[in-house]
């Protein structure tokens, strides 16, 4: 692949769709588009053909910063032994347990 | 459907990895194997063996190519659909195929190859696509038959891939399978109208289409298990979940009754119920034909590829213009 060919590929965008009012936008895939406006239009055509969406966001993929998979343990394991962060950790008398 | 890659890429996939590897690499390999064994999903940025990456890239890109090339035999009939309703349905189906191609290209890109590189491989003839799309669509009943049989076979083949170990591929397949069921049902529905309300000539068209598509559809599942050297490795990696022959049998078993309800005969004198196996027995498949079509010598290979290349070349100015416009707008915005 020559440099010109790569330069002429439309940039990649990540697509987020809100399936209906009141819910959050959820990542649903990616696509190539020349600019943001085109990305929105194409996202509508590709990802909401069956009423899957009420709103669409597109973000240039190059703008996303992700956690490193190699850090997964270091990042996320410490939450494992913190059961006291969950309501079920606390045993209360039956009469008030619906609290 | 479109997952013949493992069976058409020779034996290179199963090649033993290079003997000399660092201790670190061995540890990574062990961790990878353990994750596969545990049924974990592998994500794009996780470490993976080079052959796993190569095999997936080949399979997913071929799958994507098949969706895109698969638009051609049907697109051929959009302007000639018999009613406005059938035209709208066919348009929606062909648009879906384009979308499926896009989901799959996006999944393949996560493995490190650009979209343009994949398309270049398709256009040069280096990359393959499913053998089924090298057969012609001669009459309107072919469109119904593609929906019923070709998409029916595709669904059979694709559902197990929703559990593929490579997560971006699995996610794309979940989305595709959700949309694919409409494709099969609309095809059967179109044929049902021809068989129940049609003239004798229209009924004959349906039977003719079924006669021509039946055997190529059985070939879609790939060669018999004992001639599929890469299957074992594919299963080990969790890329392939169910064997070619098992899926083919499942498809035949499901289709026989549908043919009866439709009122057509499947063109196989050896097709009969086997009480002992509790499956339908079927006749011998013409594998030399399959390999001929895969190698490029099917009825429509040249035409399909030529149309793809023409569409790509004719669209070049649009792609360039859109990019030039975007750059101009970006410069303007910076200046403002």
**Which helix (H) or strand (E) segment is A25 a member of?**
strand A25-32
Q: Give residue-wise pLDDT tens across range A25-45.
A: 999 999 999 999 999 999 999
pLDDT of residue B229: 79
Q: Pick the residue with more confidence: B20 or B102?
A: B102
**A44: nearest CA partner in chain B:** B99
CA pair distance A20, A42, nearest whole angstrom: 19
Mean pLDDT (whole number) for B183-194: 97
User: N- to C-terminal Cα distance for chain B?
Assistant: 51
Inter-chain touch B102–A34, beta carbons under 8 Å: no
Answer yes or no: is pLDDT of A6 > 70: no
A51 touches chain B (CB under 8 A): no
Q: Give residue-wise pLDDT tens across range B34-90.
A: 999 999 999 998 999 999 999 999 999 999 999 999 999 999 899 999 999 999 999
Inter-chain touch A46–B179, beta carbons under 8 Å: no
ipTM of the complex: 0.85
As given in the structure block, the two tokens for residue B110 are 């996560």
Write out chain A residues lying below 8 Å of B46, CB-based. 69
**Chain A closest-CA separation from residue B25 CA (Å):** 14
Q: Is B122 helix (H, G, I), strand (E, B) or coil?
A: helix
As given in the structure block, the two tokens for residue B34 are 């353990």
Q: How confident is the model at residue A99 (pLDDT cuts 50, 70, 90)?
A: confident
**B326: nearest CA partner in chain A:** A35
A-contacting residues in B 66-105 (Cβ below 8 Å)? 92, 95-96, 99, 102-103
User: What pTM value is reported for the model?
Assistant: 0.90
Q: Give residue-wise pLDDT tens across range B226-282.
A: 998 788 889 999 999 999 999 999 999 999 999 999 999 999 999 999 999 999 999
Largest CA distance in chain A: 73
User: Which residue in the set A35, A66, A69 is minimally distant from B326, CB to CB?
Assistant: A35
Burial of B259 (0-12, 13-18, 19+ CB in 10 A): middle
Q: Is A29 helix (H, G, I), strand (E, B) or coil?
A: strand
Inter-chain touch B96–A49, beta carbons under 8 Å: yes
Q: Give residue-wise pLDDT tens across range B94-141.
A: 999 999 999 999 999 999 999 999 999 999 999 999 999 999 999 999
Q: How confident is the model at residue A2 (pLDDT cuts 50, 70, 90)?
A: very low
Write out chain B residues lying below 8 Å of A38, CB-based. 322, 326
Check if the beta carbon of residue B73 is closer than 8 Å to that of residue B305: no
Answer yes or no: is pLDDT of B22 > 60: yes
Burial of B12 (0-12, 13-18, 19+ CB in 10 A): exposed
Answer yes or no: is pLDDT of A3 > 50: no
As given in the structure block, the two tokens for residue B299 are 């009825």
């Amino acid at each position: 692949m020559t440099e010109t060919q790569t330069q002429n590929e439309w940039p990649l965008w990540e697509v987020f769709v809100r399936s209906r009012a009141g819910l959050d936008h959820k990542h649903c895939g990616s696509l190539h588009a020349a600019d943001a406006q085109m990305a929105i239009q194409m996202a509508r055509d590709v990802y909401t053909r069956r009423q899957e969406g009420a709103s669409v966001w597109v973000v240039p993929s190059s703008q996303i910063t992700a956690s490193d998979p190699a850090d997964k343990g270091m990042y996320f394991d410490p939450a494992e032994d913190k059961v006291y962060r969950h309501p079920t950790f606390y045993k209360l008398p039956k009469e008030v347990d619906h609290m | 459907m479109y997952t013949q890659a493992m069976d058409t890429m020779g034996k290179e996939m199963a090649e033993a990895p290079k003997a000399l590897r660092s201790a670190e690499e061995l540890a990574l390999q062990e961790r990878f194997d353990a994750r596969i064994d545990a049924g974990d999903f592998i994500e794009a940025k996780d470490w993976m063996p080079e052959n796993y990456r190569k095999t997936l890239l080949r399979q997913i890109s071929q799958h994507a190519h098949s969706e895109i090339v698969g638009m051609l035999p049907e697109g051929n009939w959009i302007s000639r659909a018999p009613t406005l309703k059938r035209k709208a349905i066919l348009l929606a189906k062909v648009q879906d195929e384009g979308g499926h191609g896009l989901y799959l290209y996006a999944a393949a890109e996560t493995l490190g190859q650009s979209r343009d590189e994949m398309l270049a491989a398709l256009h040069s003839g280096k990359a393959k696509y499913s053998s089924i799309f090298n057969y012609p669509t001669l009459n309107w009943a072919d469109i119904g038959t593609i929906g019923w049989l070709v998409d029916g076979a595709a669904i059979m083949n694709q559902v197990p891939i929703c559990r593929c170990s490579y997560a971006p591929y699995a996610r794309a397949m979940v989305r595709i399978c959700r949309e694919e069921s409409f494709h099969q049902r609309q095809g059967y529905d179109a044929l049902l109208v021809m068989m129940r309300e049609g003239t004798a000539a229209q009924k004959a068209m349906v039977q003719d289409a079924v006669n021509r598509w039946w055997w190529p559809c059985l070939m879609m599942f790939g060669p018999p298990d004992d001639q599929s050297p890469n299957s074992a490795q594919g299963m080990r990696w969790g890329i392939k979940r169910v064997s070619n022959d098992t899926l083919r049998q499942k498809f035949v078993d499901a289709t026989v009754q549908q043919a009866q309800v439709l009122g057509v005969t499947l063109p196989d004198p050896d097709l009969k119920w086997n009480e002992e196996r509790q499956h339908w027995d079927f006749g011998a498949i013409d594998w030399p034909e399959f390999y001929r079509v895969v190698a490029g010598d099917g009825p429509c290979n040249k035409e399909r590829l030529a149309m793809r290349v023409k569409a790509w070349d004719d669209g070049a100015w649009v792609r360039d213009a859109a990019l030039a416009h975007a750059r101009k707008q970006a410069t303007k915005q910076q200046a403002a």
